[in-house]
Amino acid sequence: MYNGLLHAHSGLRWVVLVLLVLAIIKAFSGWFGKKEYTAGDKKIALFALIATHIQLLLGLGLYFISPKVSFAEGAIQNEIYRFYTVEHMSMMIIAIIIITLGFSLAKRTTEGTAKFRKTALFYTLGLLIILSSIPWPFTVDGAGWF
Q: Which structural domains are found in the chain, ordered by start?
A: 2-66+74-133 (1.20.120)
- Let me know: does 123 contact 20? Beta carbons within 8 Å: yes
- What distances in angstroms separate CA 53 from CA 12, 13, 43, 87, 125, one per listed residue? 11, 11, 15, 18, 16
pLDDT at position 92 is 96
pLDDT at position 135 is 85
Give 100's pLDDT tier (boundaries 50, 70, 90).
very high
Give 145's pLDDT tier (boundaries 50, 70, 90).
low
What's the mean per-residue pLDDT of the chain?
A: 92
- Let me know: does 112 contact 35? Beta carbons within 8 Å: yes
Give 73's pLDDT tier (boundaries 50, 70, 90).
confident
Residues of the chain with pLDDT > 90, as a percent, come to 75
> 112-133 and 2-33 are packed helices; what angle lies between their axes, rounded to 10 degrees?
140
The answer for 89, left when phi > 0, alpha when psi is -120 to 50, beta otherwise, is alpha
pLDDT at 144 over 80: no
Each residue's pLDDT tens digit, 25-58? 999 999 999 999 999 999 999 999 999 999 999 9
Q: pTM for the whole thing?
A: 0.90
CA 96 – CA 127 distance, rounded (Å)? 9
Helical spans, DSSP H, in the chain: 2-33, 39-65, 79-82, 88-108, 112-133
Q: What's CA 139's distance to the chain center, in Å? A: 18
- Let me know: does 58 contact 66? Beta carbons within 8 Å: no
Higher pLDDT, 63 or 146: 63
